[in-house]
Amino acid sequence: MKILHLDLKLVGDRYAELRLFWDNPNNCQSRQLSLTEITKLIQKVETDYYTRLPEDYAKTGQALYNWLDGSDRIFQSAIDQHKCSELQT
C-alpha cells in the first residue's frame, strides 16, 4: 500500500512549504503557500463549519484539495503516478 506523505514547514515569516512524497522524503514535490492565504482559508472554514447550517463537508474538502493542489496540480500529478496502486492518503 502506498502512502502519500504531506509535510508543511514554516519558511520565514510569510510562507510555508508544502512537501509531498511517497517513500523517500528526499524525492518530493513542493510548493510555497502564503501564510496570509492560509489564515484566510482557516477563517473561512471555521465560519463555514461552526454555524447552525454548516457548509457541505464534501464541498469544503474539495475546495481545500483544489487550493492545496494549486494550478500546477501537485496532488493530482502525485496521485496519477500510482493510479493503479492502492492509495492511503
C-alpha cell at 84: 493503479
Mean pLDDT, all residues of the chain: 87
Query: d(Cα 49, Cα 59) in Å, to the nearest integer?
Result: 11
Confidence at residue 88, expressed as pLDDT on a 0 to 100 scale? 53
Residue 1 scores a pLDDT above 80:
no
Query: d(Cα 89, Cα 87) in Å, to the nearest integer?
Result: 6
Its pTM stands at 0.74
Residue 58 scores a pLDDT above 60:
yes
Q: How far is CA 15 from CA 2, 11, 19, 24, 81, in A?
A: 29, 5, 13, 24, 27
2 pLDDT band, cuts 50/70/90, is confident
pLDDT in tens, 60-77: 889 889 988 989 999 898
CB 87 within 8 A of CB 20: no
